Structure 1
Amino acid sequence: MLSHLRQLLKPAVLSIILLVGAAAAGAHEMTMADLTMREVAPKEFVWAWGIPGKNTPVSQDLTPAWPEGCVGDANTVRCGERGLAGSLSVNGIGKNYSAVILRITWQGEQRSTFTLTQNQSSVRLFGSARDDRDAWQVAQTYAVLGIEHILSGIDHLLFVLSLLFLVGFRRQLLATITLFTVAHSLTLAASALGALTLRSPPVEAVIALSIVLVCAEALNQKDTLTRRWPGIVAFVFGLIHGLGFAGALKDIGLPEQHANMALLTFNLGVEAGQLLVIGLAWLVLLATRRFAWTASARRAILYGIGSVSVFWTFSRIAVIAG
């Protein structure tokens, strides 16, 4: 009897530990660093590191390599006749930071924004706001950023997993996930293009609350409206999650050229990451459905997700109140 009880409790305890550990690591999302540069005199720049939306210092893992003809010290870069032209790269991307957002303000207040990743850790500059990247290069960069965002956005992933527990791998799942996708695509596009603006703290609080509510419905055995029409819930909360995605995209910035391509491929990257998680969940189900403890593990995981999300909800409301 005791050994059977241990077998039931083992997956439950493990699941809760994993969820709490994930929460401790942070609700979301990929860690980016800002490299800001401002031209204060012809071919002379001041530069600094930062983290979007935070006042924490950047670790020493990232080191810029200035274009040929440019010499930099702790906070200035002076360039020769060509100006800030040539290849600018950042070493160390991929260790503690998944991306570096290079923001340059030229004399005349023209601005350039470039996104550097581990696979594309350099950008070619031309001494002005000119952006020579083609649409394919922008598409590759922003698709990867979209995948990284959803895979490191624990709260978004937990919402998707909660929907899976609510609906199960039935035909209805396709419609539910499709409606969630359509909803967050609408608000992501509207916010990224400036048509819709909301403060981040309320959005983050509602995202956490959405996970709590879906977990509660997944644990409820009654035939509720949510169980009958999960697509409606997925669509309504998908609108809010889209605003969360838009917050990340705002931190990254859209290139002036190929902005629509960047927006589209970022969204496609989010969807690819989401489908990857659903596929992995299906494989886990296939591998474990013959075991007797799966029902207990399901309840434990839902209670774990719900508990973490309640904590997020109250902590994010406290931020709003403060």
Structure 2
Amino acid sequence: MKSVRLAVVAFNLLGWLTMLSMSTAFAHEVRPAYLQLHEERPGEFRVLWKVPMQGNMKLALEPQFSGKTEEASTAVNQDVNGARIRTWTMRAPALRGQTLTIGGLEATMTDALVQVEYMDGTTWTGRFTPRAPAAVIPAADTASSVAGVYLSLGIEHILFGVDHLSFVLALLIITHGTWLLVKTITAFTIAHSITLALATLGFVHVPQAPVEATIALSIVFVAAEIIRRDQGKLGIAAQAPWVVAFCFGLLHGLGFAGALSEIGLPEGHIPLALLFFNLGVEAGQLIFVGAVLSILAIVRRAHLSLPTWTVRIPAYAIGSLAMFWTIQRIAMF
């Protein structure tokens, strides 16, 4: 049984490291671009255009409209948190019905989120992808379109959030028994759902940089607990992983809220967008857990055996990378 567990962990680690290398390579590019158009006077919009940057270079993306538009003010550029933000005022007497294209999007691996807010209170939220870089701006949003956009954003955020998945993987390694695993995953889900909602709705305000550094430290802690358990010393994570999952889940929820704040929420559909973003995060988390458990089933049938020293590899690898993230994030304060 021990050899099976070792094989499972090693196999999981291989997939996780592959995902890590991909995520590291495209860490900035997978973040969505963001275009907001807020109508301040009839036919006149305040425009905010945020594009992810790689180092000192931004992605070559540009919003393009099929109808008549003109700049009514000089654009102001600002670099903030790995993104170039440009603001200006645009005149567009007939914006509804125009085709909006995010030029250059088809050559990237990122998406673009667009929010249009009209003076009459109607809004529209659109998601543009490399495969679909253009769309017609409709008269207004529908609840189903908002739900679909934020559900997919939630799924993508967790599946590309290597630090969050590393924490979940560490919990899976240290947790034994189906019932205990259900309790642990449920506790993590409840905890980060609470803080995601509180922070997004403005009831909790926490600086994002310390939160991200502490999230990395939470992974280091669970990795250290795995090592202690393998040495015969049972810590709290091994004895009550659901308690650790809940406590650190509160931090991870604040991390999700920080990502959602960068994306923004559509006026008039904030509760719906928040709900479906959270459902997307849960769906992505369940996809990951399901993949790990599927690998477990495959390895059990294969009856693989590994040297005893391989038991140390996953915890040390996860802990070392998480410690690197901790130092990196602290250095960015």
Give the structure-1-normalised TM-score: 0.79
Partner residue in 1 for 2:35: 35
Does 2:170 match 1:157?
A: no
* Conservation of the 8 A alpha-carbon contact between 2:29 and 2:109: no
Q: CA–CA distance in 2 between the matches of 1:188 and 1:101?
A: 20
Q: CA deviation at 1:194?
A: 0.5
Where 1:35 maps in the other structure, the secondary structure is strand
Q: CA–CA distance in 2 between the matches of 1:180 and 1:29?
A: 28
Where 1:31 maps in the other structure, the secondary structure is coil
Q: CA–CA distance in 1 between the matches of 2:267 and 2:284?
A: 26
Aligned match of 1:191 in 196, 199, 204?
Answer: 199
Partner residue in 2 for 1:129: none
Partner residue in 1 for 2:112: 100
> Which amino acid in structure 2 is aligned with residue 180 of structure 1?
F
Partner residue in 1 for 2:3: none
Gaps of 5+ in 1: 1-6, 127-131
Per-residue CA deviations over 1:223-254 (Å, capped at 9, x if unaligned) read 22221111110000000000000011111111
Q: CA deviation at 1:260?
A: 0.8
Q: CA–CA distance in 1 between the matches of 2:299 and 2:308?
A: 10
Where 1:89 maps in the other structure, the secondary structure is strand
Partner residue in 1 for 2:329: 316
Q: CA deviation at 1:171?
A: 2.0
Partner residue in 1 for 2:100: 89
Partner residue in 2 for 1:283: 294
* Conservation of the 8 A alpha-carbon contact between 1:66 and 1:72: no
Per-residue CA deviations over 1:84-129 (Å, capped at 9, x if unaligned) read 2224433454653533233557789x89673423369535255xxx
Does 2:149 match 1:141?
A: yes
Does 2:313 match 1:300?
A: yes
Q: CA–CA distance in 1 between the matches of 2:197 and 2:54?
A: 24
Where 1:220 maps in the other structure, the secondary structure is helix
Q: CA deviation at 1:42?
A: 5.9
Partner residue in 1 for 2:179: 171
* Conservation of the 8 A alpha-carbon contact between 1:89 and 1:122: yes
Q: CA deviation at 1:63?
A: 4.3
Q: CA–CA distance in 2 between the matches of 1:77 and 1:310?
A: 46
Gaps of 5+ in 2: 1-6, 76-88
Aligned match of 1:268 in 267, 275, 279?
Answer: 279
Q: CA–CA distance in 2 between the matches of 1:273 and 1:294?
A: 33
Aligned match of 2:222 in 201, 214, 223?
Answer: 214
Q: CA deviation at 1:71?
A: 6.3
> Which amino acid in structure 1 is aligned with residue 184 of structure 2?
T
Q: CA–CA distance in 1 between the matches of 2:214 and 2:53?
A: 19
Q: CA–CA distance in 1 between the matches of 2:13 and 2:258?
A: 34
Per-residue CA deviations over 1:46-96 (Å, capped at 9, x if unaligned) read 756423799955422x343414344689968553xx432224433454653
Aligned match of 1:232 in 243, 246, 263?
Answer: 243
> Which amino acid in structure 2 is aligned with residue 235 of structure 1?
F
Which stretch has the larger CA shift, 116-125 or 178-187?
A: 116-125
Which stretch has the larger CA shift, 193-202 or 252-261?
A: 252-261
Change (3 A) 1:94 1:151: farther
Q: CA–CA distance in 1 between the matches of 2:282 and 2:176?
A: 19
* Conservation of the 8 A alpha-carbon contact between 2:210 and 2:330: yes
Aligned residues: 303
Q: CA–CA distance in 1 between the matches of 2:295 and 2:160?
A: 20
Change (3 A) 1:45 1:182: closer
Compute the RMSD of aligned alpha carbons: 3.7
Q: CA–CA distance in 2 between the matches of 1:64 and 1:40?
A: 19
* Conservation of the 8 A alpha-carbon contact between 1:31 and 1:99: yes
Partner residue in 1 for 2:83: none
Give the structure-2-normalised TM-score: 0.77
Partner residue in 1 for 2:21: 21
Partner residue in 1 for 2:51: 51
